[in-house]
Amino acid sequence: MSDSPKISLTDLHKGFGTKKVLQGVNLDVAAGESVAIIGGSGTGKSVTLKCILGLLTPDSGSIKIDGVEMVGADRKTNEAMQAKSGMLFQGAALFDSLSVWENVAFGLIEGQGMPRKEAHDIAIKRLSDVGLGPEIAPLSPASLSGGMQKRVGLARAIATRPEILFFDEPTTGIDPIMGDVINDLIVKCTRELGACALTITHDMASARKIADRIAFLYKGTIIWDGPVADVETSDNPYLQQFISGNTEGPLDLDLKHL
């Protein structure tokens, strides 16, 4: 492991009203490393990501990015962090009032103040990085298929050349073949940027492909954390049940609440 971790979560707590979602999450992601957080629906994966991105404020605990504390940080610090990170949202979250290329170029034009002409050319390049031709650039995002929207979302996330990439369930809601295409693109883009990546998913195949390390989130804490190769041989009964998809086992499925 390198000197100081890129992202470091310590004892993170977050609840909504009386409901405790995160109850002490600890996780380090080193520079250039790709980590996947896996876990069942409603275990707080998206909440973890939103806390790191500053979209939610944790109740307690610490989030350090490049050694800088983000919890309670001022606006400048937050903006500096957002400028060096890129995020692919679960539903792509493309702006439907803008065209495809304006979506991809958004961070360049609005965030960095780049002239539209120059940003347009970069957007076309990023689109081709994710396997999309220039003919879709002027279209409206609503006219694209789900898989294409995800790829445009990926192009938008990488457009500003971020050092940290976040992926929220990159493969859910699309067919397995397109899912595989997305996985390959994520691996390729992360490598090219030399970025560190944090992916949350409940798709084990995708986690194996994208990540170097896997962290298993259950009942508000990371109960298992290790290299991808060790997942199969781990003797953690919870993890074994999750990857085999068995309903019989130690996991408290609590189906009523999902």
The dihedrals phi and psi of 27, each to the nearest 5 degrees, come to -160, 135
Question: What character string, x for contact with Mg ion (CB under 5 A) and - otherwise, covers 27-56?
Answer: -------------------x----------
Binds 83, which of Mg ion, other proteins, ligand ATP, none (CB < 5 to 8 A, cut-off by type)? other proteins
CA angle 80, 85, 91 (to 5 degrees): 130
| Cβ atoms within 10 Å, residue 252 | 9
* Of the residues 34, 85, 171, 199, which one makes contact with other proteins according to CB under 8 A: 85
- Indicate the pairing of strand 60-65 with strand 213-218: unpaired
Residues between 154 and 193 with contacts to other proteins, criterion CB under 8 A: 156, 160
Instruction: Tell me the torsion sign for CA atoms 254, 241, 167, 126.
Output: negative
Q: Which of the stretches 44-52, 92-100, 182-190, 220-228 binds ligand ATP when contact is defined by CB under 6 A? A: 44-52
Could you say whether residue 77 binds Mg ion (CB under 5 A)? Answer: no
Asked if 224 touches other proteins (CB under 8 A), the answer is no
Q: Is there a contact between 22 and 51 (Cβ–Cβ < 8 Å)?
A: yes
* 44 contact, one of other proteins, ligand ATP, Mg ion, none, CB 5-8 Å limit per kind: ligand ATP
Using rule CB under 8 A, residue 31 touches other proteins? no
Distance CA 23, CA 36 (A): 19
Work out the number of other CB atoms within 10 angstroms of the CB of residue 136. Answer: 17
**H/E stretch holding 48:** helix 45-52
Q: With respect to other proteins, which residue has the nearer C-beta, 89 or 218? A: 89
Task: Let me know: does 196 contact 30? Beta carbons within 8 Å.
Answer: yes
CB of 245 to other proteins, least distance (A): 27
* x-or-dash string of contact with ligand ATP, 22-41, rule CB under 6 A: -----------------x-x
Q: Which chain residues interact with Mg ion by CB under 5 A?
A: 46
